[in-house]
Structure 1
């Protein structure tokens, strides 16, 4: 990993603009981009008052100009690279998404000293280091509040408000599609496929929901959250990722019976070893959490993130995690911030990656398991299963067994242990002659370990 220090002075701050308008280039005019144009138009006077000078939209890059009749034709262009390179552009706002050629467009802007506001979580999760390096070299600003949790003010508190504290853990629901599906499964008892179809019908799921349901979207956001929280460059490849497609109605019912619910969680932790050495663990997976936990009541397509810091204690951020208007709100907040910096010749916060902590693999992460087994209903089974746990030094927290004719359902909840030890325990139990099958394995979060 490469580290850098907050407040780098590699590039000079932008020169004050002397009262002329802040000139903005917009890349993308889909659901979010259209809302940005609307807000810039409807709130022009208020934005000018807040910034100290007007904001002027000088161009909008789109793929097909004939599909945007709601936008003045003279603003539209299909040449994003040329728009970014224009000398009269002060700020580039990007809501196109994807990696390439978007990365090159933003690097071009930053190298030229133009501030960038982006909602591109995938790009930031892979190439934030490149973007920050370019911004530092030229003195430009890079803001990205809308990249995680839509309208929820989350990244700026992590980046600025909590900059004097030590964040120890961030755990949250950062994908609305999966939260809608799991909430509906919990409320109705329906299966995953049926609920996914309903989510698509209502517009909560994309035609291709892979990025959401397989955890890629949440993993990108987790990488960004971990990078900001722990002052360490974390990429998407560092994040352990599991999706929700294997969650069954039986899992949901089991969670309910134990006073829990299932959520797809992004979990970022600062871990200190006995010798004081710190590292970072970042993972995305479904987990059971107690219904008393603040995240348990987050339903539908809403997002919420629970932050724990040494001095500030526990904080929770909740709200609309996606959608055109909510995301545009976050983008406009960033635009106001970078525009104010342009007006006074200042700079926003730089990258803070000085800690450069190692990223722990999931095998070394401390987790708890809820294990459901289908076993033969005969004497000695529970003792033999417990012996396997003891062999792997995994402590059992709770056991529930229900017999039905010649078979039985055996549910075991563990205390906290390294994930590798838990996985090895499950693998050995699966091979026992009296274990018919391992019905499900799910991690447990949000409870005392």
Structure 2
């Protein structure tokens, strides 16, 4: 078997079998297949696509290229959730303790942020002492004890994805849906969960800018999960404005705790409940949407979800006192208001540009090795459809230096469209794909 023959087969629209795909992935991880041949293969996939069987074989090969977790000793159906990324998306931090408080085992293996979207691990790193690095035995022990753990990937976790993602980034093949699906599903399936809920975002702050593209990705993710024998479903959700109000690591932890106290932003709370409902249904902890909603709302407003969050903090080295004293976390003392230049109604946001403004402040990474400042970020005070008066605050900006503030506020000023005409509020959950 030769790599060049398989590249030609895919270039000509042929379907590769499992053995052929394993040959390519194994050879690339071992260094037997060079970057230039894998680049050609990725471009062939970009133009010719893959069947679900091919994408499933690709995903399985990637998943088995390194460590995989075996959680079969943990009773019950173990359910994880994955978001395709957005601005202000701290749902995992709320949903993991909420679903666990409802009796669902939640093994959550999360990632870091890159570009305009934030990463769950970066937000957790803003909690003093919190540990996300642990081996499989510790991960399993925590889930058995508390029903939940949130960790990062091990050094040898899906190494094929690390190599392929870096190559896709420099060969203009990032947007390929089969390759996106393989990247996402290989990491989630390696975590040992039995079922998955996908939050596939669309809009100005998402990687998929239209509902049609998001729906295609959701269908691919679910199809690949079926190939692997895993249950899954997806919600298509709107990312044309930030989720919640807080953007930035410490600020998002504060908003997470406020939401777990039952006083979070309405859109953030709603999305956590909607995703949680699907997790409970897949995990067979509820028989209907109505029953699942009732369970989750009771766990949220009774304080049970917050108590579970405290357990996570204690077990993973964080200080539970942050739930009462937010000053224990790093938050820049420098803040300013960006105000409306005219009266009117919020017509739209360029949500990606809002995320980029936060990255400029230091809350995110432009490159993988960039250092994050956990104490900077912003609060978005308005939603699409809201009325606004001259001089009314649109954003509170937390910053470290005047240079980053100047660029961030310039981006924020361009990110918001104020119109004379009212705009209807946006619908958060657009569709469900099974």
- Regarding TM over 0.5, the answer is no
Which structure: larger Rg?
Answer: 1
Q: Which has the higher helix share?
A: 2
Q: Which has the higher strand share?
A: 1
Q: TM-score, normalised by structure 2?
A: 0.24
Q: TM-score, normalised by structure 1?
A: 0.24
